[in-house]
Structure formats: C-alpha cells, structure tokens
Amino acid sequence: MKHNYYKLVVSGLGFSWGKVAYISEMRFISESNDKRIPCYRLLDDNGELIEDSDIDQISKEVAVKMYSEMVTLQMMDTIFYEAQRQGRISFYVTSVGEEATNIASAAALAADDVVLPQYREPGVLLWRGFTLEEFANQCFGNKADYGKGRQMPIHYGSKKLNYFTVSSPIAHIFGDGGTSEGDFHAALNFAAVMEAPVIFICRNNGWAISTHITEQFRSDGIVVKGQAYGIQSIRVDGNDALAVYRTIRAAREIAISEQRPILVELLQAIQVAEKTEKPPLGNLFSDVYDLPPSNLREQEKQLRETINRHPQDYPSDVPM
C-alpha cells in the first residue's frame, strides 16, 4: 500500500485539467527565459528576401497594391499630421513605421472579417476601399462624417467595410500599451476558454505614447502572455510586409479551421531613421535669417549653457 502511494506521488496526479508531475525539490519558476522568443521574418534589413525563405507566391497584383497602399498611407499621414499642426484638426496619430503592419495584415484578411481596431490602423480601412475623402470627412467632423462629428479625429468606422469604430471576431488589433489594460487579459482568457476564432494582433512599437515598455511590463514582450493563457502565439517582424502577410493568413486559417484564438506580436522598429545621424545643434537656429537676430543668438547661448550644466538630460548623439 505504502509502495503504491509512493509511486503515485512521484509519477504525478491527474487533475481534471491535465497531469502534473510532482518533484521534491523546491523550485520557483524563473521570471524569464534565458533566450527571448525569436522573431519571424522573411526580409533582411535591406528588404531582400532571406535565402531559403519558403514564401508563398503573392500575386503581382496584391504585391503592387500592398506597396501603393503603404505609400498612400504615408502621404495621407503627412497631410493630416500637418493639418493638425496647423490647428485645422484637433488631433491626429500617424502610422509611420507601421505601414506593413497595417497593410499586410489587411491584405491577409478577407473583406468580411470583422476588425476591432485601436487607432493606429487606418491602413486596414484604406485597403478595404475607404476613400481619402471619407478619412478627411471624419477628421474634420463635417456633415458627411459617419460619426456625425461626434468623435475625435481618427475615430473612423465603417459598417460597410466591417470595421468597428475606433475604440479598440476575426481580427482585433491594438498596441503594446493596450496590453497593460486589464481588458486585454480578460479578453485573452475568454477567447481561449470560449475557443473564439479571434486573431489578436499586437503592434509592439515599444512605447505607449511616451511610456516606455520597461515601465509597462517586465515580460518578454507580449508573445509570452498568449502562452500563459493557452493561446498559440507568434512574434513577427512588423516591418516585414511579407512575413506579416504570411503570418496573418496562416493565423486566419488556424482560427477558422480549428476554431481557436491566435496571438500575433508584431515588433515595430524604425531602425534606419533612428540610426541616421542627427543634425548639429546649431541648425535649430539657422535657415530662416541670413544673420540670426539677437534673441535667437541669446537662445542658442542659453541652450548651450544649459546642456553643459546638465549633459545627462540631453541626447548624446546630437553634434554640438
């Protein structure tokens, strides 16, 4: 009898939800893995296809549409962002550096897949045929705006295009900051247990507006949270349109055929712009006048004195 009991203990007990092994050594699970979860990509830093990438052929038509919509998104952003700076609209957020996330994920979904966006995904609407005029009507809150001017700018929505009015299934898109909300955790848990065919697409750009992710969470990004809730998850290079397209297509297939949720973490990096040299400090005061007036010369002097006093508070990569 005693012998049998011992055997039972070492081999582990079956709980209603699965079998768990017993051990006699007290061991706290580490708060992190030695290695971070790797990031799936098909294009290298120069945008060249990585050799041996087993990419499905994307038709030329889809590839060209993806490229041109990414360019259109950038142009729309430039115009609306400047309109906002000029005070003509009260608010705007751009999708700079997240063009592939926007457009490639939209391209991989079907037009009748319902999208619940946050606010940095207008490219999905653009892909589905929302016109520049419709975007402008919303931003300016005029009579033609579907929201009748009642929402802040960029709170687009379209019943026709299966795009919920911005506030945040098959697809659900949000930022890393969104995952710091309790709702995100409740949603993952519900989706896992209810076996909801939802794709959770997280754009991890490292910031919740001005709050860095180190002040938001200590986990290895978002991808590990999916596993914690029992959801198949993947980390993907969000700057790689082909990898995003392919991943969302596969995620959609799994969500529908297996009736279960999927979590996709898209890492956003604006490395090229970030690594490019900064202009010298003096440029702040040049370009407008042939000879800078005395107030500008005084401001420059004060700025240089302040930087000398508090060098740690100023970026070290700006040439003095």
Residue 157 binds which entry of ligand TPP, Mg ion, none, with Cβ cut-offs from 5 to 8 Å by kind?
none
SS3 annotation, 257-311: HHCCCEEEEEECCCHHHHHCCCCCHHHHHCCCCCCCCHHHHHHHHHHHHHHHHCH
Q: How many residues contact ligand TPP, by CB under 6 A?
A: 13
Considering the complex, state which of residue 181 and residue 215 has its C-beta at the smaller distance from ligand TPP: 181
Cα dihedral 117, 120, 123, 126 sign: positive
Residue 209 binds which entry of ligand TPP, Mg ion, none, with Cβ cut-offs from 5 to 8 Å by kind?
ligand TPP
What's the closest the beta carbon of residue 182 comes to Mg ion, in angstroms? 17
SS3 annotation, 158-188: ECCCCECCCCCCCEEEEECHHHHCHHHHHHH
Q: Which of 162, 161, 187 is nearest to 174 (CA)?
A: 187
**Would you list the DSSP string of 211-256?**
EEGGGT--SSTTHHHHHHTT-EEEEEETT-HHHHHHHHHHHHHHHH
Determine which residue in the list 205, 233, 239, 247 makes contact with Mg ion, applying CB under 5 A.
205
What's the closest the beta carbon of residue 279 comes to ligand TPP, in angstroms? 26
Determine which residue in the list 178, 197, 226, 261 makes contact with ligand TPP, applying CB under 6 A.
178
What's the closest the beta carbon of residue 255 comes to ligand TPP, in angstroms? 22
13 by Cβ neighbours in 10 Å (0-12 / 13-18 / 19+) ranks as exposed
175 binds Mg ion (CB under 5 A): yes
Window of 54-62, 200-208, 232-240, 269-277 that interacts with ligand TPP by CB under 6 A: 200-208
What's the closest the beta carbon of residue 213 comes to ligand TPP, in angstroms? 8
Site track 111-130 with ligand TPP (rule: CB under 6 A), x = hit: -------x-x----------
Backbone angles phi, psi at 242, to 5 degrees: -70, -40
Window of 34-42, 109-117, 140-148, 173-181 that interacts with ligand TPP by CB under 6 A: 173-181
What distance in Å separates the CA atoms of residue 213 and residue 217, rounded to the nearest whole number? 6
122 binds Mg ion (CB under 5 A): no
Token representation of residue 189: 């848990």
Whether the CB-CB separation of 163 and 124 falls below 8 Å is answered with yes
Window of 81-89, 109-117, 172-180, 222-230 that interacts with ligand TPP by CB under 6 A: 172-180
Determine which residue in the list 146, 207, 285, 314 makes contact with ligand TPP, applying CB under 6 A.
207
Residue 134 binds which entry of ligand TPP, Mg ion, none, with Cβ cut-offs from 5 to 8 Å by kind?
none
- Give the residues lining the site for ligand TPP (CB under 6 A): 118, 120, 174-178, 181, 203, 205, 207-209
- Give the residues lining the site for Mg ion (CB under 5 A): 175-177, 205, 207
